[in-house]
């Protein structure tokens, strides 16, 4: 069933059932607070549900509180956990702002008219247009790109194309994150298929025949590459690779010459918020110079076009596919099922 059909039935629960497993690997955080309590709501505290990354989310929370004096109570979890929490609280919603690690998921919320449009957000005119809603129903303040992460001790000639990983010299040496556990992996697979059409399945069939292994969520797929147990991970999340490299691990990343998929991280104000003015200030802060510098320090792509990173490749340096976000959202469930069945 298509995601938009699920939403037409008013079924956040149905989408949650998919995303509870499909997007469990979108974040490394596990739920760090009891955000969303009625006490916090009554006290005027801004309630934010965020899909991390955890370190960045904490820095943004501290920076916003210091700048505005507004107290933030934050729940950190995966996109699936956030949607599950929203479903559980739908009779008495408490969340004011949601930050997800999946653009199709946020598009679904916007289509259900659950997000408050804020087209006047500070620096909205500087955002990457393809990542944010034209009416301001959500804004993507950051993003990651998917690439091939490889072990520099094991690999002397890095791959330059996705097809390279299907060659004999890579047999049994490659991991790929599980799209039922990693939202970014699902973004890559559906994005690739939206650009390549049905013929795109041949790449994943060749991967399977060459011994490419599904290896859990993003970190679980990357760890064996860091240790040298595997040589590379396909559809690796770039900010994790950049951080590991900065920490002294023997890894590097390449973006295939034919293109890759960007995975934006959108934020939105929920319409039922009783603190809309404070929520708008939070969105403004996400798009501020200060927060965008925090984004780049975390090795993520900034959401603004006028901000550049000096510790990673910038958007203009990454070849990308012309993905179709609506198609990706509508075909996520069937793609996940077909992909995982292929590797059984």
**Per-range mean pLDDT, top range of 105-114, 177-186, 221-230:** 221-230
Strand stretches in the chain, DSSP E: 46-50, 72-76, 97-99, 115-116, 139-151, 174-176, 213-214, 232-237, 251-254, 262-270, 301-302
The 10s digit of each residue's pLDDT in 146-172 is 999 999 999 999 999 999 999 999 999
The 10s digit of each residue's pLDDT in 176-216 is 999 888 888 999 999 999 999 999 999 999 999 999 999 98
pLDDT at 67 over 90: yes
pTM here is 0.86
More confident residue, 27 or 12: 12
Q: 18 pLDDT band (50/70/90 cuts)?
A: very low
Q: Please state, in angstroms and rounded to a whole number, the distance separating the CA atoms of residues 244 and 22.
A: 25
According to CATH, what is the number of the domain 3-143+263-313? 3.40.190.10
According to CATH, what is the number of the domain 144-261+334-342? 3.40.190.10
Check if 3-143+263-313 and 144-261+334-342 are the same fold.
Answer: yes
Q: Write down the domain spans for the chain.
A: 3-143+263-313, 144-261+334-342
239 labelled ligand-binding: yes
**Per-range mean pLDDT, top range of 1-5, 10-14, 214-218, 260-264:** 260-264
């Amino acid at each position: 069933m298509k995601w938009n059909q699920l939403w037409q039935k008013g079924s956040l629960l149905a989408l949650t059932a998919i995303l509870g497993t499909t997007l469990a690997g979108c974040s490394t955080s596990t739920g760090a607070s009891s955000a969303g309590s009625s006490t916090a709501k009554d006290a005027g505290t801004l309630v934010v549900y965020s899909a991390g990354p955890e370190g960045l989310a904490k820095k943004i929370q501290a920076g916003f509180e210091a700048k505005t004096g507004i107290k933030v109570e934050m729940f950190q979890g995966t996109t699936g956990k956030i949607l599950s929490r929203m479903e559980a609280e739908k009779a008495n919603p408490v969340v004011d702002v949601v930050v997800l690690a999946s653009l199709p998921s946020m598009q679904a919320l916007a289509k259900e008219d659950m997000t408050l449009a804020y087209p006047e957000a500070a620096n909205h005119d500087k955002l990457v247009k393809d990542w944010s809603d034209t009416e301001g129903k959500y804004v993507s303040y950051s993003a990651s790109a998917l690439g091939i992460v490889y072990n520099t001790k094991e690999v002397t000639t890095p791959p330059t194309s996705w097809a390279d990983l299907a060659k004999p010299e890579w047999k049994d040496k490659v991991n790929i994150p599980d799209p039922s556990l990693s939202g970014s992996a699902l973004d890559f697979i559906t994005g690739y298929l939206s650009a390549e059409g049905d013929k795109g399945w041949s790449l994943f069939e060749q991967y399977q025949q060459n011994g490419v292994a599904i290896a859990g969520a993003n970190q679980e797929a990357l760890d064996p590459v860091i240790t040298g147990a595997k040589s590379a991970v396909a559809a690796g999340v770039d900010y994790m690779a950049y951080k590991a490299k900065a920490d002294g691990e023997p890894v590097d990343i390449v973006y295939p010459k034919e293109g890759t998929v960007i995975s934006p991280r959108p934020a939105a104000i929920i319409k039922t918020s009783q603190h809309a003015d404070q929520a708008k200030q939070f969105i403004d802060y996400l798009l501020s110079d200060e927060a965008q510098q925090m984004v780049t320090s975390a090795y993520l792509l900034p959401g603004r076009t006028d901000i550049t990173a000096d510790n990673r490749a910038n958007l203009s340096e990454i070849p990308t596919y012309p993905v179709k976000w609506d198609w990706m959202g509508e075909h996520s469930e069937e793609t996940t099922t077909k992909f995982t069945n292929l590797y059984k």
